[in-house]
């Protein structure tokens, strides 16, 4: 993989994309960009997270850091199992209250640089942060459940450049006009109106599911 390329592998989702993986309510994806491997969220159950990673030939020991979008069990459930294998730094929203005393947690309140070209929106409404990857062709936003609202996330993300793609759970999202300027949308996990998004924007729609790999 070249240094400026981006690869996102959905590891944990309510549905599967690739035969043989396990579906479960929750979300996690591995973001490989700018020489870093960042695990975004950890799903609900460590055994499923690690099992799916194993089937996708992704080695937990090779993860450089973890980014937690928000403190909900279906996003943090696999965290401890992963940290026991590989005690990397974990970036969490500033209000995060999980008890993980033995590990290194970075509390993020404001928009922050995580790594070169990789940022957090900072903690938005409802205690959730999104991950920003700044590529040459635009900004990729990875979201957990979008509890702050897609409008708020897009406005926070657009400070980093023109938003090209949003990937993740779009929980209560129904105002489809908001995403008309995006090039790609990959609605997964708790997204309620996925079929409406797909039929309104077939050219932008990217199917998710555990095992889906997106490269750009
Ligand atoms: Zn949530
Ligand atoms: Zn969720």
pLDDT tens for the chain, 216 residues long, are 455 589 999 999 999 999 999 999 999 999 999 999 999 999 999 999 999 999 999 999 999 999 999 999 999 999 999 999 999 999 999 999 876 778 889 999 999 999 999 999 999 999 999 999 999 999 999 999 999 999 999 999 999 999 999 999 999 899 999 999 999 999 999 999 999 999 999 999 999 999 999 998
**Count of residues in the chain:** 216
Q: How far is the CA of 144 from the centre of ligand 1 (A)?
A: 7
**Distance from C-alpha of 186 to C-alpha of 173, rounded to nearest angstrom:** 13
Q: How far is the CA of 3 from the centre of ligand 2 (A)?
A: 31
Q: How far apart, in Å, are the Cα atoms of 51 and each of 82, 83, 162? A: 11, 15, 36
Q: What is the pTM of this model?
A: 0.96
* pLDDT value at residue 1: 46
The two tokens of residue 108 are 């993020």
**Distance from C-alpha of 111 to C-alpha of 79, rounded to nearest angstrom:** 23
CB 66 within 8 Å of CB 88: yes
Topology of domain 6-215 in CATH is: Metallo-beta-lactamase; Chain A (3.60.15)
* pLDDT value at residue 23: 98
Q: How far is the CA of 77 from the centre of ligand 2 (A)?
A: 11
* pLDDT value at residue 17: 98
**What is the number of the ligand closest to the CA of 13?**
2
* pLDDT value at residue 58: 98
How many other C-beta atoms lie within 10 A of the C-beta of residue 77? Answer: 23
* pLDDT value at residue 101: 72
* pLDDT value at residue 141: 98
Q: How far is the CA of 3 from the centre of ligand 1 (A)?
A: 32
How many other C-beta atoms lie within 10 A of the C-beta of residue 103? Answer: 15
Q: How far is the CA of 7 from the centre of ligand 1 (A)?
A: 24
**CB-based contacts of 104, cutoff 8 Å, min separation 6:** 87, 88, 89, 90
- E strands, 34-129, are 36-40, 65-67, 89-93, 105-108, 112-115, 118-120
């Amino acid at each position: 993989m070249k240094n400026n390329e981006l690869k996102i592998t959905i590891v944990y989702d309510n549905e599967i994309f690739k035969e043989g993986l396990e579906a479960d309510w929750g979300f996690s994806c591995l973001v490989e960009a700018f020489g870093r491997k960042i695990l975004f969220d950890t799903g609900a159950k460590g055994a499923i997270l690690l099992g799916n990673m194993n089937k996708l030939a992704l080695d937990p020991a090779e993860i450089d850091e973890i980014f937690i979008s928000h403190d909900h069990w279906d996003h943090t459930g696999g965290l401890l199992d992963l940290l026991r294998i590989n005690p990397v730094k974990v970036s969490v929203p500033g209000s995060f209250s999980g008890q993980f005393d033995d590990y290194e947690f970075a509390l993020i309140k404001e928009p922050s640089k995580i790594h070169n070209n990789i940022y957090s929106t900072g903690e938005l409404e409802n205690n959730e942060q999104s991950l920003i990857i700044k590529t040459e062709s635009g900004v990729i936003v990875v979201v957990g459940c979008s509890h702050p609202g897609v409008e708020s996330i897009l406005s926070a993300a657009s400070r980093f450049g023109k938003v090209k793609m949003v990937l993740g759970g779009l929980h209560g999202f129904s105002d489809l006009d908001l995403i008309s300027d995006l090039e790609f949308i990959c609605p997964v996990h708790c997204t309620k109106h996925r079929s409406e998004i797909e039929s309104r924007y077939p050219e932008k729609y990217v199917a998710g599911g555990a095992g889906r790999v997106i490269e750009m």
